[in-house]
Structure formats: structure tokens, C-alpha cells
């Protein structure tokens, strides 16, 4: 049975048992068992670190590349199999020199980008820098193919703001906001919702040519019709402007058919009275009438109109408390 020895022990045995053969004392056994010991000790010598101290390797250790294109564990590879881990005692980072590497390399398609260090020089142009040092140079979508996603500072679902596609061609989109918008870099004012924004308005003349009103500027106005005689008009809104007919409508007029100077006005009252329509069989509308101090209906050259109300599906929060305090008229 051969002996498993280190390199120093092998050299000692060779020197003592295979000396100069002037006396003819070297037998075939001496040669054979030393060769057997060397063959039996190769693995121990390589694995023990003896090559690192006294007999180091001078060239890179190479492994066979036979069948290297196969990934099968049973293929005839020239593989290096490590059972515990790898050390890199000469690593550039001194803090890593005594660390055992136990994780396998995941390959160029399996490395977590956040775990990479020392990238530098902004080499990953396919990513948007979180510090804002590189601006977006193309369109960015928040739609994963099934739903639009929220953008926020907390990571909490369904808060912040998001973009919602409102038609199949994506040429129209809505912006959803879950909280208050604040103009912090100007006057610190806030916008809690859109209830204070007029849903419709118009600046027009009720005394246009041929009894047809003349429109100057407008928003969400479908039509303005004169109803048979002076001072009686009907304002109609496009479908979807209001949730119902409980909108607030306000109007003013100069009460005269002239606007040649700043004194062209007569004392008058404008009332927005009858509301009708349901956006189904008929568009929603409101009447707009102008009446002078004598109770006569008159046209006006300078007429303004504004309406506030709920948009479709809009809610209004807590209902205000309505109280009868007629028994206590003092404030």
C-alpha cells in the first residue's frame, strides 16, 4: 500500500533510498514504491497548500475544455468543483481578502443590479438616474398592459397621481390625484379639488343680428338660444358636463343693446331659473332671463354667465346642516 506524503517527505525518501548506485544497492522495489508514493500523494500535495509555500505553481492552472459547450453535470468537462467556497487573499479591496465567497455567479442575466458596486461614470444609459442627473429623453409609460399605476413618494398603493387613458387611441388622458395639490414654490396655496372651478361659462350678446345671440368666449356651452322674445334665453350644455341639474348658475347683463361707452347700462335683474334635461333624451340646460326695473324683459349687449356643479360621478362629502332659527333671529 503506497504512502500519502507531503512533498518534503517524498524528497527525503528519494534522497535516502535512491542515492548514487555505485554500490548497486538500489532495488526495483526502491524505485517502484517511491513512484507509487508520488502518484498516491499528488492530490494531497495540491490540496494541502504545499504548492503555495514551498513549491508554488508558476503558470495558470488549466482544465480540459472537452465538451465545454454542454451544461450537463455528467458531461466530460474540465470543471473546478469547490465544496465550501473561494478566497481571494490578494483582492484589491483589503476588507474582502479574508471573506469566503459562497454564492455562485448568477450569469449576465441573473445579477441584481442593485447589488452591483463601482459602476461609475453613468454607464447604464438604459436606466433613469434617481438623482435626476440625466433627464428623460423619451416617453415613459405607467401602464403595465392591464392597469395604470400610481406614482407616489411613500410606496403605498393607490395614492399620489396617475395617468389614465380615456380612449383606445391614447390621444386623450386624465390625471388622477389622490390628495391636495400645493404650489409650494410660489404662494403656498392649495387646490383640494375641482369643485371651485366653473364647469361652464360664457360671454355673449343677447341682441345679435336677426334675433340670434352672438357668442364671444365660452367653455362647455353647447348652444344659446333666444326663446321668442327679448330677454329670454336658454343655455344648453354638452353631454357629461353635470352630474345632475342641481348646479349653481349665475348671470349678469348691462340691460341695454349698446356697449359704446362705459355708461351703457340700465338697472336690471338676471335670473337663471328653469333647469331641465338628463343627458339622455335631452341635454341639460338652464333659462337665462333679463328684466329691467319696470318689469320688462330686455336684451343685453354685454352678458356673462357662469355655472358650478358636480361632474358625472363626483361626490361632495358631508351634507351641510340646515337649521330653522326663526325663533332666535339675532346673530
- Is the confidence at residue 121, as pLDDT, over 60? no
Task: Output the pTM of the full model.
Answer: 0.60
- What pLDDT, on the 0 to 100 scale, is given for residue 172? 84
Per the model's pLDDT, the better-predicted residue between 103 and 252 turns out to be 252
Residue 68 has pLDDT above 60, yes or no: no
% of the chain at pLDDT higher than 90:
43
Most confident among 65-74, 76-85, 240-249 (mean pLDDT): 240-249
Mean pLDDT on 66-92: 73
Give yes or no for residue 51 having a pLDDT over 70. no
pLDDT > 80? residue 199 = yes
Q: What is the CA radius of gyration of the chain?
A: 46
Q: Is the pLDDT of residue 289 over 90?
A: yes
pLDDT value of position 49 = 61
Quick one: pLDDT at residue 137? 82
State the pLDDT at residue 224: 97
d(CA 306, CA 290): 15
What would the pLDDT profile of 200-222 be if each residue is shown by its tens digit?
A: 999 999 988 888 999 999 999 99
Per-residue cell: 92:
484589491
Phi-psi domain of 250 (left: phi exceeds 0; alpha: psi -120 through 50; beta: other): beta
> At residue 64, does pLDDT exceed 80?
no
Name the DSSP letter for residue 246.
-
For residue 286, list its beta bridge partners: 235, 275
In this prediction, residue 133 carries a pLDDT of: 81
Of 123-137, 152-166, 235-249, the one with minimum mean pLDDT is 123-137
292 Cβ contact partners less than 8 Å away, ≥ 6 residues apart: 255, 266, 267, 268, 269, 298
Which range has highest mean pLDDT (58-67, 80-89, 149-158, 234-243)?
234-243
Q: What is the mean pLDDT of the chain?
A: 86
Q: Which helix (H) or strand (E) covers residue 30, if one does?
A: helix 28-48
Average pLDDT over residues 261-282: 95
Has residue 191 got a pLDDT over 60? yes
Mean pLDDT in residue range 91-114: 80
Average pLDDT for 282-300: 97
Does pLDDT of 270 surpass 70?
yes
Band the pLDDT of 21: cuts 50, 70, 90.
Answer: confident
> Closest by alpha carbon to 232, among 271, 178, 174, 281?
271
| DSSP calls for 78-135 | -----SS-B--TT-SSGGGTTPPB-SPP--TTS--GGG-----TT--TTS--TTS-S-
Which segment, 137-146, 153-162, 247-256, is predicted with the most confidence on average? 247-256
C-alpha grid cell, residue 127 = 436606466
Residue 27: pLDDT over 80: yes
Is residue 42 predicted with pLDDT exceeding 70?
Answer: yes
Amino acid at each position: 500500500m503506497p504512502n500519502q506524503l507531503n512533498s518534503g517527505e517524498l524528497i527525503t525518501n528519494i534522497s535516502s533510498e535512491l542515492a548514487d548506485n555505485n554500490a548497486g544497492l538500489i532495488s526495483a522495489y526502491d524505485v517502484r514504491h517511491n513512484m507509487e508514493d508520488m502518484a498516491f500523494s499528488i492530490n494531497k500535495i495540491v490540496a494541502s497548500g504545499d504548492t503555495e509555500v514551498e513549491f508554488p505553481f508558476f503558470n495558470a492552472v488549466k482544465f480540459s475544455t472537452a465538451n465545454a459547450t454542454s451544461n450537463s453535470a455528467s458531461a466530460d468537462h474540465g470543471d473546478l468543483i469547490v465544496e465550501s467556497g473561494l478566497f481571494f487573499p490578494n483582492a484589491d479591496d483589503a476588507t474582502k481578502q479574508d471573506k469566503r465567497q459562497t454564492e455562485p455567479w448568477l450569469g449576465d442575466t441573473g445579477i441584481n443590479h442593485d447589488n452591483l458596486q463601482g459602476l461609475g461614470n453613468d454607464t447604464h444609459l438604459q436606466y433613469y438616474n434617481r438623482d435626476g442627473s440625466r433627464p428623460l429623453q423619451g416617453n415613459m409609460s405607467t401602464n403595465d398592459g392591464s392597469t395604470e399605476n400610481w406614482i407616489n413618494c411613500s410606496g403605498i398603493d393607490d395614492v399620489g397621481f396617475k395617468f389614465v387613458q380615456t380612449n383606445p387611441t391614447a390621444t386623450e388622458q386624465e390625471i388622477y390625484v389622490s390628495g391636495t395639490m400645493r404650489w409650494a414654490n410660489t404662494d403656498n396655496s392649495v387646490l383640494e379639488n375641482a369643485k371651485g372651478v366653473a364647469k361652464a361659462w360664457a360671454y355673449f350678446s343677447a341682441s345679435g343680428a336677426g334675433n340670434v345671440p352672438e357668442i364671444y368666449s365660452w367653455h362647455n356651452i353647447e348652444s344659446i338660444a333666444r326663446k321668442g322674445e327679448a330677454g329670454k334665453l336658454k343655455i344648453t350644455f354638452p353631454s357629461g358636463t353635470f352630474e345632475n341639474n342641481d348646479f349653481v348658475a349665475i348671470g349678469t347683463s348691462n340691460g341695454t343693446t349698446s356697449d359704446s361707452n362705459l355708461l351703457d347700462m340700465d338697472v336690471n335683474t338676471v335670473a337663471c331659473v328653469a333647469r331641465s334635461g338628463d343627458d339622455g333624451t335631452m341635454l341639460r340646460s338652464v333659462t337665462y332671463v333679463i328684466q329691467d326695473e319696470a318689469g320688462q324683459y330686455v336684451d343685453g349687449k354685454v352678458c356673462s354667465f357662469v355655472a358650478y356643479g358636480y361632474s358625472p360621478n363626483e361626490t361632495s362629502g358631508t351634507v351641510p346642516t340646515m337649521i330653522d332659527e326663526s325663533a332666535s333671529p339675532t346673530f
